[in-house]
Amino acid sequence: MEDFTAANIAVSDEKREEELEKTKKGTVDHSQLEEEVAAAKKHAKEGDLTAALECLLSLEKQHRLGEDITATKLCCTAILDALFEAKEWKLLNEHILLLAKRRSQLKQAVQSFVRQAMGYINQTPDKETKVELIKTLQTVTEGKIFVEIERARLTRQLAKLKEEEGKIDEAAEILQEVAVETFGAMAKTEKVFYILEQVRLCLDRKDYIRAQILAKKVSPRAFLDQSGKKGQNAGEVGIEGTTIQAADAGTPSLRELKLMYYQLLIRYHEHNNSYIDICRSYRSIYEVPSIAEDPAKWGPVLKRICWYVVLAPASSDQVTLLATTAADKKLLELPAYKELLQTFITKEVRWWSAFEKEYAGEVEAEDTIFGGEAGAKRRADLRLRVIEHNVLVIAKYYSRITLARLAQLLDLSPADTEKHLSDMVVAGALTARIDRPAGHVRFAPRREPAALLNSWARNIGRLLDVVENATQNIQKESMVHKVAIGAA
C-alpha cells in the first residue's frame, strides 16, 4: 500500500481535478461558450456594459455550480477584461469582491482572476486607484492559503507605495504583517528577498531589535548554490507536497541577495559598534565570486576588513581573523595594509604618535569608517587598540615594572596608563596588579584556587623529601663515626 504523505495528497488532488476536467469536457460545449463570451465582450465594447456583465455573470453562475473549472475561469476572465477595457475601476473592484464571495466559488477561479487583476495594477490611471485596487485584492486573498503568495506580493507593492511617499514606519508595519518563511510554494529567492526588505525597512526606521529578529530568519546556508537539489527550482515539488512557483519578476539572484544580506548585517552591527561582526560580514562579501574576481571591488572590501579586524577588541576570534587576513596573498598589492596587520602581529611596542603619522593618509581615505558621526569614536578606538597592543607586548616581556616606566613606554601620563591598564584587567584581556604606594605593576596570570592548592601540596611534598634525605644522611654519619645523636 502506498504511504500516506502530503506529496501523495497533492498528486491525488491533481488527478481528481484532471478526471473532473475530462468529465466536464464531455458535457460542456466550450466552443459555444467561447462564442457567447465573445458576443458579450462585443456588446461591452459597443457601450452596453450592463447587459454584457449580466450575460457573463449568468454564464459564470451556470458553470460554477456545474464545477467546470475551465469554463468558470473563462467567464471570470471575460468579466474583468470587459471592465478593464471600459476603464471602470470602481466596478472592477466591486466585481472582484462579488466573484470571490459567490457561493461555491472554485479556488482555481479565484486564483486565476486575482492574478489577472494584479496585472492591471501598473496600468491604473493614478495612485489612488492603484491603492484601492491593491486593497481590494488584499481583501479577497485574506485567509486563503491558495493565494497567499499573491497576497504577499500585493502587500509588498503597497509597502513600496508608502515608502515612496516617505511613510517609512507605515511601510514597515505593512510589510511585517506577512510571514513568508511559512510559505511552502514560494521560491527561495523571493522568500529571502521579502525578508531582507522587511529588515531594510526596520533599519530605516531604526528599529534594530526587530531587524535582528527578522535577519535571524535567513540562514547563511540559504545562499549556497543548491540548483541541483530537488525543490529549489520553479515547477518542482517542495517538502510540503506543493509545487514551487516561479519567483516574481524583479527578484534578485541568490548571489545578489547574499550581498544584500551582509550589507544589511553591516548596517545593524555598525549601530552596535560590533567591529568583529562587521569584519566577518565583509569577509563573507569578499568571498563572493563577483567581488573576488574584480580588483576594483575586492580592494576596498579588503581594506575595510583590515581596519575592522584591527579595531576589534583582543580576543581569540580577533587573533584568528587577524592571522587569516594577514596570510591573504592579495595583501601584496596593498603593502600599507599588510604592514598595518603586521604591526599588531609583531610583538613590538608602537608609539601612537608615530603610528598616527604613518597611517594618517589611509585613515583620511576611509570616509565610510572614520568619517561621519561615528568617525570620532572609531579614531579613539583605533588609538585604544594601539595602547592595548603595547600593554600586551610589555606584559609578555615584563613580570614587574614601575608605573612611571610603563607610562613612558606607552607614551601616556601615569593616570591614563593606570586607567587603560585597569580597563584591560576588568575586561579580562590581561592579569595585572598595581601597587600604588610602591608604584609597581606586576603582571602575573591569575591562578585558580585548585591550582594554587596543588602547587602548595607539591611544595610541601618536596620540602618533606629534603627533610627526609637530611635525616637519613645525619643518621648515616652518626653510625659511621659512632656518635650518638643528641650528644654534647
Cα 219 from Cα 223, distance rounded (Å): 8
Q: CATH topology for 347-446? A: Arc Repressor Mutant, subunit A (1.10.10)
- Count Cβ atoms below 10 Å from residue 310 Cβ, excluding itself: 23
What does the angle CA 246 – CA 252 – CA 258 come to, to the nearest 5 degrees? 120
**SS3 state at 126:** coil
Cα 295 from Cα 452, distance rounded (Å): 55
Structural domain boundaries of the chain? 19-142, 347-446
Q: Which helix (H) or strand (E) holds 440?
A: strand 440-443
Cα 122 from Cα 78, distance rounded (Å): 20
Whose grid coordinates read 567591529?
275
Contacts of 343 (CB under 8 A, 6+ apart): 350, 355, 389
- What does the block give as the cell for 340? 598595518
HSE value, Cβ hemisphere, 13 Å, CA-based, for 35: 4
Cα 427 from Cα 313, distance rounded (Å): 10
Cα 195 from Cα 175, distance rounded (Å): 9
The CA–CA distances, whole Å, from 73 to 50, 67, 153 equal: 20, 11, 22
Cα 435 from Cα 444, distance rounded (Å): 13
Burial 108-137 (b: 16+ CB within 10 A, else e): ebbbbbbebbbebbeebeeeebbbbbbebb
DSSP state of 243: B
Cα 18 from Cα 215, distance rounded (Å): 42
- Count Cβ atoms below 10 Å from residue 306 Cβ, excluding itself: 25
Radius of gyration for the chain, computed over Cα atoms and rounded to the nearest angstrom = 38
- What does the block give as the cell for 310? 584591527
Cβ atoms of 66 and 29 closer than 8 Å: no
pLDDT tens-digit profile, the chain (488 residues): 444 444 444 445 555 555 445 444 445 667 888 888 888 888 788 877 888 888 888 888 888 888 888 889 999 999 999 889 888 899 999 999 999 998 888 899 999 999 999 999 999 989 999 999 999 999 999 888 888 999 999 999 999 999 999 999 999 999 998 888 888 888 889 999 999 999 999 999 999 999 999 999 998 888 876 554 544 455 554 544 567 888 888 888 888 999 999 999 999 999 988 999 999 999 999 999 889 888 889 999 999 999 999 999 988 889 999 999 999 999 999 999 999 999 999 989 988 888 989 998 988 988 889 988 888 999 999 999 999 999 999 988 888 889 899 888 888 888 998 898 888 888 888 888 888 888 888 887 767 788 888 888 999 999 999 999 999 988 888 888 878 776 54
Q: Which helix (H) or strand (E) holds 434?
A: strand 432-435
Distance of CA 253 to the CA centre of its chain: 16
Cα 192 from Cα 198, distance rounded (Å): 10
Q: Could you give the strand order of the β-sheet that contains 432-435, starting from the edge strand earlier in sequence?
A: 400-402, 440-443, 432-435
Q: What is the pLDDT of residues 134-177, one digit of tens each?
A: 999 999 998 888 889 999 999 999 999 999 999 999 999 999 98
Cα 112 from Cα 107, distance rounded (Å): 9
- Could you give the residue ranges of the DSSP H alpha helices within 122-186? 127-141, 148-164, 168-175
Q: Which helix (H) or strand (E) holds 266?
A: helix 254-272
HSE value, Cβ hemisphere, 13 Å, CA-based, for 101: 10
pTM value?
A: 0.79
Cβ atoms of 174 and 155 closer than 8 Å: yes
Backbone phi and psi for residue 400, each to the nearest 5 degrees, phi listed first: -150, 140
The CA–CA distances, whole Å, from 238 to 7, 189, 220 equal: 9, 14, 20
Nearest to 201 by CA among 147, 162, 252: 162
Contacts of 65 (CB under 8 A, 6+ apart): 104
Cβ atoms of 56 and 65 closer than 8 Å: no
The CA–CA distances, whole Å, from 98 to 61, 62, 101, 116 equal: 12, 15, 5, 15
